[in-house]
């Protein structure tokens, strides 16, 4: 029997690996393999989760009890899911798994091209769901993402926390309502070198406002991209033409808040942006164009419009912007709309002009 991998380097993964590492890890692996600037990292596989759960709950008590909960019994769901979470968080990892995660973690600085560091490299630990509900499960975003985790033991602990998020009240309630079976539940985890961003945000390979497929729209704000995603700040907006490569619009917003590394425990806090930075554009032209180029490459790779989370680390500003690609998801709003032609050929080309000049004006003109 072939022993399944417990961890896999992201660079070895592709979209097809969704069932073995979860959607987020598979997607990041796919992008990394395509040569896109995904921070180095590894996935803890669903097999690793199964392996650990086998040790924690050999008799299958957890799925049995959760599976028996009525969807509308909030009290029972709260009790049972809390017990499930604590049994997952509290149990030490099986030795083989613990060692493999520690080895993969220690290999990260090398994989990331970092110089051998004195201390432990900080990483982000995120859940990577496999189910159909991965979209809604990861939507809230922050609860199963842990930032600035450092040290092999801490990584192992946060991997368990990610697994435990499978048994959050929201997730359990959702599954009970949808009638999703509890047997065979699985979750992957992504461990990636932490990017400490000067600024971050989202880019859209099709305008989210107008649906224009010929532009890339970049939203950017200071600090972590979670501030943009969660809407605590009005970001700068830059629009770049995919065809001419020109920056066709710059809207510099007054950015009042940003998400920063929490000074205490691993995590994030919301702070006021220093007044001197509020009205300053967070991106230079070169960075805007590099982001647009990144968007074009991601869009071309998938062949469909994408919403892409990115970050630019602070510190040593070199001539080439160091952009990190954090996540890419298919655009859904405009892609779902029915495609209707804006115009159709006429029997004679100039009929277009005759029709236009015979119709009352519409206000648009050169």
Phi, psi of 347 (to 5 degrees): -65, -40
- Of 86, 326, 79, 45, residue with least CA distance to 192: 326
Nearest to 71 by CA among 173, 205, 194: 173
Residue with Cβ nearer other proteins (316 or 366): 366
CB of 5 to other proteins, least distance (A): 41
Shortest Cβ distance from residue 335 to other proteins (Å)? 11
Residue with tokens 């004006």: 361
Radius of gyration over every alpha carbon of the chain, rounded to an integer in angstroms: 23
Smallest distance from the beta carbon of 365 to other proteins, in angstroms?
4
Note the residues at the interface with other proteins (CB under 8 A). 207, 210-215, 239, 241-244, 246-250, 339-346, 348-350, 352-354, 356-366
Q: Which is nearer to other proteins, 17 or 287 (CB)?
A: 287
How many Å apart are CA 141 and CA 145, to the nearest integer? 7
The answer to whether the Cα torsion of 277, 192, 148, 170 is positive or negative is positive
Residues in the chain: 366
How near is the Cβ of 290 to other proteins at its closest, in Å?
A: 18
Residue 154: other Cβ atoms inside 10 A: 18
CA 100 – CA 123 distance, rounded (Å): 16
Q: Choose between 110 and 249: whose C-beta lies nearer to other proteins.
A: 249
Comparing CB distances to other proteins, the nearer of 315 and 341 is 341
- Return the structure tokens found at 279: 């009205």
CB of 355 to other proteins, least distance (A): 8
**Which is nearer to other proteins, 1 or 350 (by Cβ)?**
350
- Specify the 3-state DSSP secondary structure of 14: coil
What are the strands of the beta sheet with 236-241, ordered from one edge? 247-251, 236-241, 215-222, 197-204, 306-313, 324-330
The smaller minimum CB distance to other proteins, of residues 96 and 352, is found at: 352
Q: Judged by CB, which is closer to other proteins: 156, or 288? A: 288
CB of 15 to other proteins, least distance (A): 25
Least distance (Å) from other proteins to the CB of residue 110? 41
């Amino acid at each position: 029997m072939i022993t399944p991998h417990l961890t896999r380097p992201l660079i070895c993964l592709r979209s097809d690996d969704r069932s073995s590492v979860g959607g987020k890890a598979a997607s990041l692996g796919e992008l990394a393999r395509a040569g896109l600037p995904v921070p180095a990292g590894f996935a803890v596989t669903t097999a690793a989760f199964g392996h650990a759960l086998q040790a924690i709950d050999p008799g299958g008590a957890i799925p049995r009890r959760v599976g028996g909960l009525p969807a509308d019994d909030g009290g029972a769901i709260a009790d049972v899911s809390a017990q499930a979470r604590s049994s997952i968080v509290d149990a030490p990892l099986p030795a083989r798994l613990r060692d493999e995660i520690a080895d993969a973690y220690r290999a990260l600085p090398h994989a990331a091209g970092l110089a051998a560091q004195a201390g432990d490299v900080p990483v982000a630990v995120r859940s990577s769901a496999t189910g159909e509900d991965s979209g809604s499960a990861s939507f809230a975003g922050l609860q199963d993402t842990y930032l600035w985790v450092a040290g092999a033991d801490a990584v192992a602990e946060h991997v368990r926390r990610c697994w435990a998020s499978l048994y959050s009240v929201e997730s359990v309630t959702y599954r009970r309502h949808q009638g999703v079976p509890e047997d065979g539940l699985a979750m992957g985890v992504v461990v990636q070198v932490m990017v400490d961003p000067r600024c971050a945000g989202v880019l859209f390979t099709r305008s989210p406002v107008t649906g224009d497929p010929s532009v890339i729209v970049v939203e950017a704000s200071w600090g972590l991209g979670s501030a943009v995603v969660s809407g605590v700040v009005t970001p700068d907006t830059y629009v770049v033409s995919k065809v001419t490569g020109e920056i066709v619009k710059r809207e510099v917003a007054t950015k009042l808040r940003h998400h920063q590394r929490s000074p205490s425990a691993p995590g994030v806090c919301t702070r006021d942006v220093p007044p001197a930075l509020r009205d300053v554009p967070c991106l230079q032209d070169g960075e805007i164009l590099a982001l647009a180029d990144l968007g074009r490459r991601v869009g071309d790779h998938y062949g469909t419009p994408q919403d892409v989370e990115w970050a630019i680390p602070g510190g040593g500003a070199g001539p080439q912007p160091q952009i990190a690609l954090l996540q890419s998801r298919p655009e859904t709003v405009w892609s779902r709309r029915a495609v209707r032609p804006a115009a159709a050929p006429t029997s004679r080309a100039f009929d277009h002009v005759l029709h236009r000049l015979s119709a009352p004006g519409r206000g648009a003109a050169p």
